[in-house]
């Protein structure tokens, strides 16, 4: 979730998305786990801070689909074909709102 601390809205959310943590291993292998689920652990507070990580991870995901598909969830809740569009949309939102504060709900 991205929020703009200087703006006033009915809600402070500029972008909201949800994805299963079953994709954690895939995200980790793509180097974007902490950017997606634990940005505070890598001292990332604003959307612009994670853009380079997401760009690199997305490029890797797209360049090696068969490698990443091996990390698909066995129960079907956490699949490569759902994760790539999620990362694409999140990256777009981070670029659209670079000064938005990242807020992760667990």
Q: pLDDT tens-digit profile of 40-82?
A: 999 999 999 999 999 999 999 999 999 999 999 999 999 999 9
What is the secondary structure of 11-31 as a DSSP string? SSEEE-----GGGHHHHHHTT
pLDDT of residue 5: 55
pLDDT of residue 105: 83
Mean pLDDT of 29-36: 98
Residue 102 phi, psi (nearest 5): -80, 135
Domains of the chain by residue range: 2-102
Counting residues of the chain whose pLDDT is more than 70, the rounded percentage is 90
Mean pLDDT of 87-93: 97
């Amino acid at each position: 979730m991205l929020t703009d601390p200087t703006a006033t809205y009915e809600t402070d959310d500029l972008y909201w998305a949800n994805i299963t943590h079953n994709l954690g291993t895939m995200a980790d292998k793509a180097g974007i786990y902490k950017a997606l689920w634990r940005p505070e652990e890598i001292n990332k507070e604003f959307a612009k801070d994670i853009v380079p990580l997401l760009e690199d991870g997305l490029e890797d995901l797209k360049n090696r689909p068969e490698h990443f598909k091996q990390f698909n969830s066995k129960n079907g809740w956490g699949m490569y074909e759902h994760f790539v569009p999620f990362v694409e949309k999140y990256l777009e939102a981070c670029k659209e709102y670079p000064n938005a504060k990242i807020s992760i709900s667990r």
